[in-house]
Amino acid sequence: MAKQYETVIGLEVHVELATKTKIFCGCSTAFGGDPNTHTCPVCTGMPGSLPVLNKKVVEYAMAVGLATNCTITQDCKFDRKNYFYPDNPQNYQISQLYLPICRDGHVTIETANGPKDIRIHEIHMEEDAGKLVHDDFTDSSYVDYNRSGVPLIEIVSEPDMRSAEEVIAYLDALRMAVQYLGASDCKLQEGSMRADVNLSVREVGSSEFGTRTETKNLNSFKAIARCIANETERQIDLIEAGEKVVQETRRWDDNKEYSYAMRSKEDAQDYRYFPDPDLVPIHISDEWIEQIKQDQPELRPEKKKRYMEEYCLPEYDANILTGVKHLADLFESVVDFGKKPKEVSNWLMGDTMRLVKEKEMELEEIDFDAKHLASLIDLIEAGTINRTAAREVFEHIFEENIDPVAYVEEHGLKQDNNEEGLRSIVSEVVKNNPKSVEDYHAGKTKALGFLVGQTMKASKGKANPALVNKLIMELLTK
């Protein structure tokens, strides 16, 4: 019988923090910009320049640490990681090895077997490197230091995950927490969130870990899932063939959907870490931690729970609405206008989602004022417009952020509540559709719907459907 294997996975996740300025200088962290325009002597490693820590970086790191149940290292410091590569202008990266800012946390994920804690070993702060640009035409390389010194946190998990599903659930939970904190936008594609996968396999039941590999350059959940499947298979094949898994760093090629070895443990560099003498140790007081705790926004799990309890939303709705902070914020803003939560949820989960999908947008790109959706709901409740018209108006709110009251007025979309007027339309419709009337009397209630529809059509969609219904019934039962 074939042996049963288990995959053991730990992640190193880099998150680019959303500070306006870099970690050790005042340069902008804005993405893009002409090469070397967001730079200064500090982030280009000029002689005599010195780093000065951006306090906001410490606060974001603490916030993420607290949100992931970590212990804050109240006396922490920065270390230098020494290695020669030109994207790193000092040829050392300022990072944290000996005393990382956060330790011993966990994130809870949902699995098929119920909730599971993924432990976090540590979170440390560090600076990002610049970018090398290769010019094949002139066969030379250039360095752009705009990204050099952009603040990062690295979140290192314990090897607690056993499948791609768990890995993705963990990443999703992390991403959600970081996004809710406003600490980063966490876009894998743009590199503001990057994950390295440490993976080994072992026989089920074994208490020893196998030899692990680390795979880098994974920039989508899809790539991560593929990489895990691929690497698991590769390692099992090696073991089955009686060969050994080599401890090495591998690089994922997203086009080929294959990873290849970059360097083995034997070539591993000695980074000669030591405390950076240019930076003083950071002391984090109890008061500071308390302050960060107080400023901590409501995170997704609590928000989801509150939506279900306070707003009586079904779990399905709560789940989707809290899935992206922007959507949750929009939802709450509309509800704050005094609108019924379920009604708001319906608009967001129904028409909004449909339009997002049709227009191939991201949920973050939804850009209309909450007050317009609130007024639209008012218009419906007051009977000023009917649902058909409302859906039309909503499309304009979604696309052009129009004021629905003015729009309804200008386009004459007000519902027709004039009983006399409608009665004559209804009489006309009943007169012209004797077959349906006959059907209705024969017990085919469906015919009623047809007659209502015809009336609505004749009123150019403006008739109050409830009123039409009532008038038809009156005529038919006379």
Partner 1 sequence: MSVLNLTAVSLGKKIQAGELSAVEATQEVLAQVERVEKDVHSYVSYDGEAALKRAKEVQQLIDEKKLTHPLAGVPVAIKDNMCTKGVTTTCSSKILSNFVPPYSSTAVEKLEAAGAIMIGKTNMDEFAMGSTTETSAYGITRNPWNLDHVPGGSSGGSCAAVAANEAIYALGSDTGGSIRQPSSFCGVTGIKPTYGTVSRFGLIAYGSSLDQIGPVAKDVRDCATILSTISGYDSKDSTSIKREDYDFNQYLGQDIKGLRIGVPKGYFKEGLDKEVADHVLSLAKTLEAQGAVVEEFDLSLVEYAIPAYYVIADAEASSNLERFDGVKYGYRAKEYNGLHDMIKKSRSQGFGPEVKRRIMLGSFVLSSGYYDAYYLKALRTKALIVKAFDEAFAKYDVILAPAAPTTAPKIGSSLADPIKMYLGDIYTISVNLAGLPGITVPVGKDKNGLPIGAQLIGNRFREDVLFKAAYAYEQTKTYEMCDLAQKGVN
Residues engaged in binding partner 1 (CB under 8 A): 41, 44-53, 80, 82, 84, 86, 89-92, 141, 143, 270, 272-274, 277-280
Residue 115 or 277 with smaller CB distance to partner 1: 277
**What residue type is assigned to position 340 of the chain?**
K
Residue 49 or 296 with smaller CB distance to partner 1: 49
CB of 232 to partner 1, least distance (A): 31
CB of 86 to partner 1, least distance (A): 5
Angle subtended by helix axes 446-458 and 419-432, to nearest 10 = 120
Residue 77 or 250 with smaller CB distance to partner 1: 77
CB of 151 to partner 1, least distance (A): 16
Residue 143 or 183 with smaller CB distance to partner 1: 143
What is the distance between the alpha carbons of residues 67 and 297, in angstroms, rounded to a whole number? 10
**What residue type is assigned to position 66 of the chain?**
L
What is the distance between the alpha carbons of residues 245 and 201, in angstroms, rounded to a whole number? 9
Residue 38 or 462 with smaller CB distance to partner 1: 38
CB of 98 to partner 1, least distance (A): 10
Residue 35 or 323 with smaller CB distance to partner 1: 35
Residue 221 or 271 with smaller CB distance to partner 1: 271
Q: Which residues pair with 105 in a beta bridge?
A: 120
What is the distance between the alpha carbons of residues 50 and 126, in angstroms, rounded to a whole number? 15
Q: Which residues pair with 402 in a beta bridge?
A: none
What is the distance between the alpha carbons of residues 459 and 444, in angstroms, rounded to a whole number? 24
| Distance between first and last Cα of the chain | 80
Residue 91 or 401 with smaller CB distance to partner 1: 91
CB of 27 to partner 1, least distance (A): 14
Residue 87 or 378 with smaller CB distance to partner 1: 87
Q: Which residues pair with 103 in a beta bridge?
A: 71, 122
Residue 25 or 330 with smaller CB distance to partner 1: 25
Kindly tell me the sign of the dihedral angle through the C-alpha atoms of 450, 456, 461, 466: negative
CB of 83 to partner 1, least distance (A): 9
Residue 146 or 464 with smaller CB distance to partner 1: 146
Residue 47 or 115 with smaller CB distance to partner 1: 47
Q: Which two tokens stand for residue 111?
A: 């699995």
Q: Which two tokens stand for residue 118?
A: 């993924």
CB of 172 to partner 1, least distance (A): 36
